[in-house]
Amino acid sequence: MAWDTEGTRRRLKEAATVEFAQYGPDGTTMTRIAERAGINKERLYKYFGDKESLFESVLRDELEKLAAAVTPPADGLKDIGEFAGRTFDYHAAHPELARLLLWEGLAGGPPADEANRTEHYRRKVRAFAAAQRDGALTDDLDPAYLAFLVIGLAAWWHAAPQLTRMLSGLDPDDPDERTRRRAFVVRAAERLALPYREA
């Protein structure tokens, strides 16, 4: 069988993603990551260094995937509901990302890949501000906070799964429930961000 170092690397990182998302940086063990990947633990250290570096590497990858999958709408955010809906879809399909972000936030250290991410968010804020100037979005709210909140609309469900269960009593994995949540996210984003319409 041929050497497949890229495959080895990929399998390790996939396993690390699952484990980190599930158990967090503290609760995850390097041994279990290696076992899940079916690869010797020693490979982890050769490829990724220590646990912290591995976590950052995992998070960076997942953020890149999100950015690639959920492109901002070309029409200047006037369809902000759908944009929020698509962000929600991504998080629903990839719940690991939200969890990784929450672990990172709770850990409290400096964010991984901070420079790139900051630039990415600043671009988003500028797009929101531009849409406000065009009248596509309400100028009643600060664009940075608005962008922050739209992200929250999509991710908050994963941040407090206990609350959703206690509040609604419904299974988050039920397809109907997911559809309802998505519709809510879309409408909430519209109510928040669109200029008031005539009643």
Partner DNA sequence: GGTAACTACAACGTTGCCGTTGGATTAGAG
Partner DNA sequence: CTCTAATCCAACGGCAACGTTGTAGTTACC
Residues that bind DNA (CB under 7 A): 1-5, 8, 28-32, 38-43, 45-46, 50-52
Phi then psi for 26, rounded to 5 degrees? -75, -45
> Pick from 83, 104, 136, 178: which binds a copy of itself (CB under 8 A)?
104
Which residue stretch of 36-44, 72-80, 85-93, 189-197 sits at the interface with a copy of itself (rule: CB under 8 A)?
189-197
The DSSP-derived string for 45-90 is HHHH-SHHHHHHHHHHHHHHHHHHHSPPPTTTTTTHHHHHHHHHHH
Question: 79: which 2 tokens?
Answer: 């369809």
> Pick from 167, 173, 175, 176: which binds a copy of itself (CB under 8 A)?
167
> Pick from 4, 26, 42, 139: which binds a copy of itself (CB under 8 A)?
26
Residue 64 partner contact from DNA, a copy of itself, none using kind-dependent CB cut-offs of 5 to 8 Å: none
Residue 125 partner contact from DNA, a copy of itself, none using kind-dependent CB cut-offs of 5 to 8 Å: a copy of itself
The three-state secondary structure class of 19 is: helix
Question: 145: which 2 tokens?
Answer: 């906070």
Residue 27 CB partners (closer than 8 Å, separation 6+): none
Rounded to 5 degrees, what angle do the CA atoms 139, 120, 82 make? 55
Q: Which residues bind a copy of itself (CB under 8 A)?
A: 22, 24, 26-27, 99, 101-106, 108, 111, 114, 117-118, 121-122, 124-125, 138, 140-142, 144-145, 147-149, 151-153, 155-156, 159-169, 180-181, 184, 187-188, 191-192, 195-199
